[in-house]
Amino acid sequence: MFKELLQNIKERLYIFNYLGSLLVITGLFMLLPLIPIFIYDEEQSLYTFIIPATFAIVSGSFLHMSFPLKKPSVRGAMVITALGWILVGLIGGLPYIIGLKKSFIDAFFESVSGFTTTGITLFEHLDTMPKSILFWRAFTQWLGGIGILSFFMAVSFRGGSIAAALFSAEGHKVTVARPAPGIFHTLVILWSIYGGFSLVSFFLFLIGGMGIFDAITHAFTCISTGGFSTHDASLAYWEQRGIGHPWFIEFSAVAIMLAGGANFLIHYRALQGKVKSIFTDFEMKWYWLFTFCAVSLIMVDHFVAFSKVEPLDLADFFKIFRISLFQVSSLITSTGYLTVDINSPFFPALSKQILLTLMIVGGCIGSTAGGIKVMRAGVLFRLFSRELKRLIQPRRAVIPLVISGKVVESEEIYRVAALVWGWIAIVMVGAFITAFFSDLGPWQALSGMASAMGNMGPFYFSVHKMANLSWVIKLTYIFAMLAGRLEILPLAVLAAILFRRL
């Protein structure tokens, strides 16, 4: 038994080589906040990033040179992925411990929320925080948008089957057909599109009246559908202060958020001239249907609830449309920006339920968004429709499940059902834990866990309340954010290995 355990450990030592390389890359990225430190004369923050960056680079180099490089199995790729995200979350939280004197749990939570593009924050008084910290929070979300591991593979040039194994295990971001043969070419295309949207959003925010720093940080967190803002009021800050053109900023954010929540393969097809695929693709049809129906229902709900109190004119109609469209776009893409707090009376009971539903469904497969994904919701709907047809058809009738002209294999249907079931089960268990270890109501407890698992951000209680929750709940949410980002399987494989079941 002991010999077998030693043999298993020896066979997996190559994992440390990959983790070492990832540490070095993370450490180098951690030097970027030195730029705002010097620009805004924040010398007191200098060691906030130098110390953890040095530690990451030195320890990563040691691991990389001390352990052999080996082609990972699918199981090994899953373990590298799970450990990689946990490790990056730990290292990324060190600046919050050093610079803001946050506890280990709070710093780890904020870092994981950033890298997984969840956007749940434990930090208050963002408007007075050092620019370097705010830059790092935003930058972690930009890195996590398509995946820190995909960037790690691109810069380390580990192509072929090794990269493909890691790329597949890295999560839901690119589980669809690749836009180009070869993993490296795929990464180049995806990051080019991602970078292009980042630049477009930066210039749009500048035109809207944001300062350069705010435009950069919000460009990071918009296309990544992360949602971290540099202000406590989120994107409502410009409206409240009367700065720039708030409506332009909001509609620009809507366009970029919806782009981030769409399948990046669709963007690639559109760039190739196949623009119709934006509207004709199976998943995109459902994506637009969810968005349109949610906006319409929220507007109707608001009109019914408030027209009895006071008459509404055309200006009110535009305001209600603007707020509804923004919040629906923010939640279906799992970005989490706010212009009106989702706890506010603006959203009656039905609207709150619709927003919670969007938090569960999320965006498209192959996007930067979270949730169970629109594609899977569409597949399950088609599956339900097929079962209804079977009831009225002869018993021997063969009724395949067809999506976009292709028959969906039974194995894929089982996989979709298993992932959705796992997703719901984790949300429910996390909601039970939240309710048990806090004084939150059942609705609030469910919203908090759904937000964490869906990589969303907003929830139906205050940030102050979130910051003061039990460490047990925070650890539960950390697990949920990682599980949602990696779609459960890599963490499940890691847990199974730790319990010696694989």
Let me know if residue 377 belongs to a domain.
no
Location of structure tokens 């070492």? 20
How many CA atoms lie less than 13 Å away from 295 in the CB half-sphere? 22
Structural domain span for residue 286: 279-359
- In the prediction, which pLDDT does 11 show? 61
Q: What is the mean pLDDT of residues 227-235?
A: 94
Quick one: which of 200, 185, 199, 115 has its CA closest to 154?
185
**How far apart (Å, rounded) are the C-alpha atoms in residues 370 and 116?**
9
Dihedral sign from CA coordinates of 229, 171, 474, 96: negative
Residues 482-491 as b or e (16 or more Cβ within 10 Å = b): bbbbbbbbbb
Let me know if residue 199 belongs to a domain.
no
- 133-168: pLDDT as tens digits: 999 999 999 999 877 546 555 444 444 455 455 555
- Tokens standing for 351? 């609207």
Residues 6+ away with beta carbon under 8 Å from 451: 118, 120, 336, 359, 457, 458, 459
- In the prediction, which pLDDT does 8 show? 58
Is the CB of residue 202 less than 8 Å from the CB of residue 215? yes
- In the prediction, which pLDDT does 6 show? 46
Let me know if residue 110 belongs to a domain.
no
- In the prediction, which pLDDT does 310 show? 67
Let me know if residue 337 belongs to a domain.
yes
- pTM, 2 dp: 0.89
Let me know if residue 233 belongs to a domain.
no
Q: What is the mean pLDDT of residues 450-461?
A: 91
- 290-312: pLDDT as tens digits: 999 999 999 999 988 887 666 66
Let me know if residue 297 belongs to a domain.
yes
The DSSP H or E segment spanning 402 is strand 402-403
Indicate if the pLDDT at residue 113 is higher than 50: yes
Percent of the chain topping pLDDT 90: 56
Indicate if the pLDDT at residue 492 is higher than 90: no
Dihedral sign from CA coordinates of 349, 431, 456, 333: negative
- 351-391: pLDDT as tens digits: 999 999 999 999 998 888 888 999 889 888 888 888 888 77
Let me know if residue 354 belongs to a domain.
yes
For the chain, the domain total comes to 1
- In the prediction, which pLDDT does 31 show? 95
Let me know if residue 305 belongs to a domain.
yes
Is the CB of residue 486 less than 8 Å from the CB of residue 82? yes
Indicate if the pLDDT at residue 171 is higher than 50: no
